[in-house]
Amino acid sequence: MSKYGQLISEARKAESKKTRKPEAGQVVESEDVNLSIKVPKSRRQHWAAEAKRRGTTLTAAITEALSARFGEPE
């Protein structure tokens, strides 16, 4: 098997371990998914630059804002 073939096989094995169903009684965290919105490019660039200056990410800022406005799931 080629070097890359072996790496791909190992990655697939690792991925299959991550996607196994939990056993009864185990608490499972939700997997991350994409959330897409359309905004003007100039605003996105400004927000991205500000987030970087403040040492955070847009994901963190958006998650914080949505949680503050709508709360967390039970």
For the chain, report the end-to-end CA distance as a whole number of angstroms. 48
Q: Which letter does DSSP use for residue 14 in this model?
A: H
pTM here?
A: 0.56
- Note the pLDDT tens digit of each residue in 41-67: 999 999 999 999 999 999 999 999 999
Question: Residue 20 pLDDT more than 60?
Answer: no
Residue 6: per-residue pLDDT: 83
Residue 59: per-residue pLDDT: 94
- Residue whose C-alpha is closest to residue 34's, from 14, 13, 10, 63: 63
Residue 4: per-residue pLDDT: 82
Alpha carbon distance 59, 65 (integer Å): 10
Question: Residue 17 pLDDT more than 90?
Answer: no
